[in-house]
Structure 1
Amino acid sequence: MTATDDTLTLPPVPTPGAARPATLEAEGISAWFGDHKVLDRVSLTMPAQRVTALIGPSGCGKSTFLRILNRMHELVGSAALAGRVLLDGQDIYDRGRRITHARRQIGMVFQKPNPFPAMSIHDNVLAGLKLNGTRASRAERDGLVEECLTKAGLWKEVRDRLRQPGGALSGGQQQRLCIARSLAVRPRVLLMDEPCSALDPTSTRRIEQTIAELSDEVTIVIVTHNMQQAQRVSHQCAFFLAEQGTPGLIVEHGPTDVMFGSPSDQRTADYVNGRFG
């Protein structure tokens, strides 16, 4: 960013192919809530410009793992972890790295849409910039709002009512607004925790289209219980499982077509074919 008088000039919003999506690597991640161990030595590479789907039954640690990837796990008072999370080779948990820096580069979209309900659509998109203390001219702000809403597949639906409250949108539109808000701070990785679980089929299809369109410019990691969705949107899958009270771990991971077509572990085959979970 460059300063002109009292205004900070934003760098250009990335265009497809010009962004710098990052490879994210988890190395030997174990996690606890108090004395309860929920993940055991989980390692996974999530390549740049790819969609990685985390699949597995409820309670096997997928969402905990996702929150570890942008340092949200440590917000829980009883939480602890071991291992490393590398963003292009740099550990986001290193003492010298600020938590805010990690979260700017690794955004999160939650299961339930969470726009600021009384804030306008326009201001919702810019909320992350305000929290980071970034100022911009009105023209820059307006251009950023249009760019991010377009990338989230929402611009045509809301361009004539940008000053209306974000809480007045439908559930699917609110989720896409949250995606636009995440994109406004220009993350290199976007984490999604069951982003379609509360949406109707039409809204789900639009979110999936948005994921496909974004994958060239931001690395995406998505938790989903919908096996058809995992097949549609992801390039690779990781199957998590926690058996008989043991901590969650990754049974196997690999290209999506292999995981669904010819997995190496019978437990994976049973899960993706609906025999349990």
Structure 2
Amino acid sequence: MTDIAPAATETAALAAIEPLEDTLKQPAVAGGPGALPPAALDARDVSAWFGGHQVLDRVTLAMPAGRVTALIGPSGCGKSTFLRTLNRMHELIPAAALAGEVLLDGEDIYGAGRRLTDARRQIGMVFQKPNPFPAMSIYDNVVAGLRLTGVRTPRRTKDDLVEESLTRAGLWKEVSSRLRQPGGALSGGQQQRLCIARALAVRPRVLLMDEPCSALDPTSTRRVEETIHELASEVTVVIVTHNMQQAARVSQQCAFFLAEQGAPGGIVEHGPTEAVFGSPQDERTADYVAGRFG
């Protein structure tokens, strides 16, 4: 079993939003004193297909509010596909299909009458490959998420929001003197942190991160991990990572995915990170976290 290529999903996601770049309207700040608390996510019997190819089979996982959940496992076991089902990104892929429920504080985000923009506003996404709008300034990249999700607020609050979001992403000190320069001119690590700032500007209740540090240098990786730690009490984080040390450092809960002998991917074991790494109940989990395969 093979998971769909990350580049394909990111291209589809960008194709859905890039045509809006030249027509974005005045954004507004969400959150502030009235910001909603982090939300719990519950996936129940989630199965996923691409055409006739099933990549996930009845995955059930509770992701507690205000905690960091790490999804680990070898390449091709469906981790990234599962992550994309959590904010309806999966449905952007041609011939994609889904069964099951994804509950945000008890409400199914796929339920009848639920708007796609509401799910995307409450459940943000950071991709493996940095994807800032290259022609937009650093400043405008940060507020772009607000524009795309239709959140509005007085103009005077934007400056504070940009500084706050870039600070939380560990980027403010590096770019504060050049906010009007193109976001595409930043280094790869800086671009990824800019994308994190853009996601945070919407003040999501959940933040999904698909291998956000896989292409970053050690310094940028450390800053992203520091950001995750700082966000833990403010937003629910679900992160896909192949770095076992990173999973152990940043998460409180861990889920080990595996696909064996051509079968769809599923969860072998999940629980507190210390237990999954320190005293796994399944031999396959023990072998994976010890580096004996994957």
TM-score by length of 2: 0.88
Residue 253 (structure 1) aligned with residue 264 (structure 2): no
Determine which of 70, 77, 88 is the counterpart of 1:60. Answer: 77
Deviation of the 1:8 alpha carbon: 8.3
Partner of 1:105 in structure 2? 122
Deviation of the 1:11 alpha carbon: 4.9
Cα distance in 1, alignment partners of residues 219 and 181 from structure 2: 23
Q: What SS does the corresponding residue of 2:164 show, helix, strand or coil?
A: helix
Cα distance in 1, alignment partners of residues 268 and 95 from structure 2: 27
Matches within 5 A, 1:42-191: 42-191=59-208
Cα distance in 2, alignment partners of residues 253 and 243 from structure 1: 17
Partner of 1:224 in structure 2? 241
Partner of 2:32 in structure 1? 13
Partner of 2:258 in structure 1? 241
Cα distance in 2, alignment partners of residues 178 and 224 from structure 1: 17
Partner of 2:49 in structure 1? 32
Cα distance in 2, alignment partners of residues 83 and 132 from structure 1: 26
Alpha carbons of structure 1 residues 167 and 11: separation in structure 2 relative to 1, 3 Å: closer
Cα distance in 1, alignment partners of residues 260 and 136 from structure 2: 44
5+ residue gaps in structure 1? 1-6
Cα distance in 1, alignment partners of residues 137 and 27 from structure 2: 23
Deviation of the 1:186 alpha carbon: 1.4
Alignment RMSD, CA only? 1.5
Cα distance in 1, alignment partners of residues 41 and 282 from structure 2: 25
Cα distance in 2, alignment partners of residues 244 and 204 from structure 1: 34
Deviation of the 1:213 alpha carbon: 0.7
TM-score by length of 1: 0.93
Q: What SS does the corresponding residue of 2:32 show, helix, strand or coil?
A: coil
Aligned positions, number: 269
User: Percent identity between the aligned chains?
Assistant: 77
**Deviations for 1:128-187, whole angstroms, at most 9, x for unmatched residues?**
112233444332111111111111111121111111111111111111110110011111
Cα distance in 2, alignment partners of residues 136 and 31 from structure 1: 38
Equivalent pair of 2:41/2:104 in contact (CA under 8 Å): yes
Deviation of the 1:14 alpha carbon: 6.0
Cα distance in 1, alignment partners of residues 28 and 138 from structure 2: 22
Aligned structure 1 segments of 4 or more residues deviating by more than 3 angstroms: 7-12, 133-138
Deviation of the 1:9 alpha carbon: 6.4
